[in-house]
Structure formats: C-alpha cells, structure tokens
Amino acid sequence: MSGGLWQSGAMRSAAAVVSWAGLTLSLVACADPKPPTERVAVVAEAVAPAFAGHKTQPGKEVAQVLHRGDVRRADPEAGGSVDWEGKLEGADARRTGPFFRVRATRAEVGTWAYRSDLTFDVEVPTVEWICGHVDGLAEPAACTDFLWRIRIDDNTTFAALLVNGLTSQEGQIALVARGRLTRRALPGLSRVRPADLGGKRYVLATTRWIKAPEHTGGTLVVLAPTPGLPAIAEVLLDEVDARDAVKVTTRMGELQVTGERIRFVGVRREMSREGQELSAVPLDETYRITADGKIER
C-alpha cells in the first residue's frame, strides 16, 4: 500500500482470513480509576512516512503510511539524518532530519520514522493492563506482543489485536476511556488506522471474511471511538463470488480517505468460467460524514 490508496484484492494472506457472520457480538467492560501507563511515541502529523532498511540508509520507498494518533515504541538510539521527498496519500511531501526506529507492537520488526513526525513521552495504558482485562483470549501471552494501540485523545486509547499467522487469536478491539475498558471481538481483523473525518476521530478497521468456500472478500468497518465501539458504516473493499456455475463475479478497487469523505473507486466484473469478460461496471462510491457524526452514501 502506497500513498493514500489502499489496494483491495481478494488474494490476501490466508492467515488474515476467518469465517464470520457479522459484527454484533457481546461487549465486555471493566473499570480502573487509573490504569498503569507507559511512555511511548505518538504520530503527531496527519500523515507521515515510515521506511524499511538500515538506520544509516533507510529505503526511499515508503513502507508504511502512519497517521495522527498511531502509537509507536521508539528505540532510544536515533538513526541517521536524511532528506526525502515523495508522495503521501496523493500529495507531495518532504522530510529532513533525524529518524528513529519505531514499532507498532513488540513483535514487529519496525520501520524508520522522522523525529519531526513524532511526539515522545506520551502516556498510554500499558499493553499488560489492556490484555489483562480482555477475557477469553485463545493465547493470552501473545496479546502483549501483538497488541496495536491508537491514541484518540488525552483520556482515550483504542487497542486492537489483529488476526495474523503467528497466533490463533481472533480479532479483538478495545477502548480505554477514563479508566474504563470496553471490548468486543471483530473477526477477521487485519488492519487498523486512525482517521480524521469531518473534524472527528474515527478508527478504520479492515476485516477479511469467508462466507462460503467460493465467496470471500474484505470490508472496511468505520468505528466510532466511544464506549461500545459502534460500527457506523461498512464499505465493501473487494469480493470474489464463484458460487454461480457459469460465471465468477468480482469487485476490486482502491479506497481514498480525505478529511471529509471516504471514496471507493473500482470495478465490478463478471467473468465466464473460461475467463471471458461478460461485463465490467465502473464503481465510484462516496461516503460522507453527517452533522450528527454518521456516515451516509
């Protein structure tokens, strides 16, 4: 994924795909007047580049696009200093100065991010405390190694345990707001990122699903970072439906996220079993934030 476009395709890692029937699952809540915290780095810019490579010579290609509120563990030793210019979410961008190795989770290899894009020594609830309040984990010990966090504001932190090939854990999401934790399962969860839409904070969660052996796809779930973590919208990212005996229907495209809207641009195709294109319908779907914080198409 490069720039502001999320490539959506059916051929994703099978490790990030689980069967699911919906998002309505039981909520679990707990309270602690003052959960223990740790100091981390938080992305301060709306978008920021992160690079793979060695600290003295990071790659020129953006390996990850970070967003305001992303929590990262920063190595105390800085890397080198380098100038960079390129595209970030479709816009020209430049960076210069020192960079640090940052990790989203303890298990992540990490990337290199510019110091100017980060705010250091920000306190957020510890992964041990969050994981300790999530009951029913298939592998509790793995939670502390793979937990992602997003800082929403001074009193609110979002956390997510993604589906991956290293654990058997299903996706979990949690919100810590003023010492109170609410959480629920989100099956197939493969990615999370913060987003500012219409002047409000949201979390965009990508899920992968299998409704039948011949019917798979991915969905973007827009989450409001409020107690209960309600899903206020869903956008179908990609789909392969091969249940028909004579044709295969697919949906592919790219997602663009701006300050006021979410836009999906792609195509819906029908192909014969012999590989002949039967139809191709261009898709251009826009989802906007309403005054009451909802999303409408």
In order, the DSSP letters of 58-88 are: EEEEEEEEEETTBEEEEEEEEEEE--EEEEE
User: Same domain, yes or no, for 252 and 286?
Assistant: yes
- Give mean pLDDT, residues 42-65: 84
In the predicted model, what is the mean pLDDT of the chain?
85
> Largest Cα–Cα distance of the chain, in whole Å?
63
User: Same domain, yes or no, for 9 and 153?
Assistant: yes
User: What share of the chain in percent tops pLDDT 90?
Assistant: 60
User: Same domain, yes or no, for 282 and 178?
Assistant: yes
User: Same domain, yes or no, for 275 and 148?
Assistant: yes
Among the candidates 122, 145, 160, a domain finishes at: 122
Query: Could you tell me the pLDDT band of residue 113, with boundaries at 50, 70 and 90?
Result: very high
- Give mean pLDDT, residues 218-225: 96
Q: Which tokens is 152 given? A: 């929403």
User: Same domain, yes or no, for 185 and 87?
Assistant: no
Higher pLDDT, 22 or 289: 289
Query: Could you tell me the pLDDT band of residue 14, with boundaries at 50, 70 and 90?
Result: very low
Q: What is the pLDDT of residue 90?
A: 83
Residue 3 CB contacts under 8 Å (≥ 6 apart), including other chains: 62, 65, 87, 88, 89, 90
Among the candidates 79, 97, 122, a domain finishes at: 122
- Give mean pLDDT, residues 265-280: 96
d(CA 264, CA 58): 32
Cite the beta strand spans of 115-260 per DSSP E: 118-125, 147-153, 156-161, 172-177, 180-185, 189-197, 200-212, 215-223, 231-241, 247-257
User: Same domain, yes or no, for 180 and 117?
Assistant: no
DSSP type of residue 22: -
Strands 18-19 and 200-212, sheet pairing: parallel
Residue 131 · residue 137 · CB < 8 Å: yes
Q: Which tokens is 36 given? A: 């223990």
The domain in which residue 68 lies consists of: 39-122
User: Same domain, yes or no, for 135 and 235?
Assistant: yes
Which residue type does 277 have?
Answer: E
Residue 105 CB contacts under 8 Å (≥ 6 apart), including other chains: 145, 146, 147, 148
Weakest-pLDDT range from 2-6, 25-29, 39-43, 273-277: 2-6
Query: Could you tell me the pLDDT band of residue 56, with boundaries at 50, 70 and 90?
Result: low
SS3 53: strand
Residue 27 CB contacts under 8 Å (≥ 6 apart), including other chains: 182, 183, 184, 228, 229
- Give mean pLDDT, residues 208-220: 95
Which residue type does 116 have?
Answer: S
d(CA 129, CA 36): 7
Query: Could you tell me the pLDDT band of residue 282, with boundaries at 50, 70 and 90?
Result: very high
User: Same domain, yes or no, for 118 and 140?
Assistant: no
User: Same domain, yes or no, for 174 and 118?
Assistant: no
User: Same domain, yes or no, for 275 and 220?
Assistant: yes
Report pTM.
Answer: 0.85
Paired with 148 in beta bridges are: 160
- Give mean pLDDT, residues 164-193: 85
User: Same domain, yes or no, for 94 and 199?
Assistant: no
d(CA 52, CA 59): 6
Among the candidates 78, 102, 122, a domain finishes at: 122
Query: Could you tell me the pLDDT band of residue 194, with boundaries at 50, 70 and 90?
Result: very high
Weakest-pLDDT range from 30-39, 65-74, 253-262, 283-292: 30-39
d(CA 188, CA 237): 14
User: Same domain, yes or no, for 105 and 233?
Assistant: no
Weakest-pLDDT range from 18-32, 86-100, 108-122, 180-194: 18-32
Query: Could you tell me the pLDDT band of residue 32, with boundaries at 50, 70 and 90?
Result: low
What is the number of structural domains in the chain? Answer: 2
- Residue 27: CA count within 13 A, CB half-sphere: 13
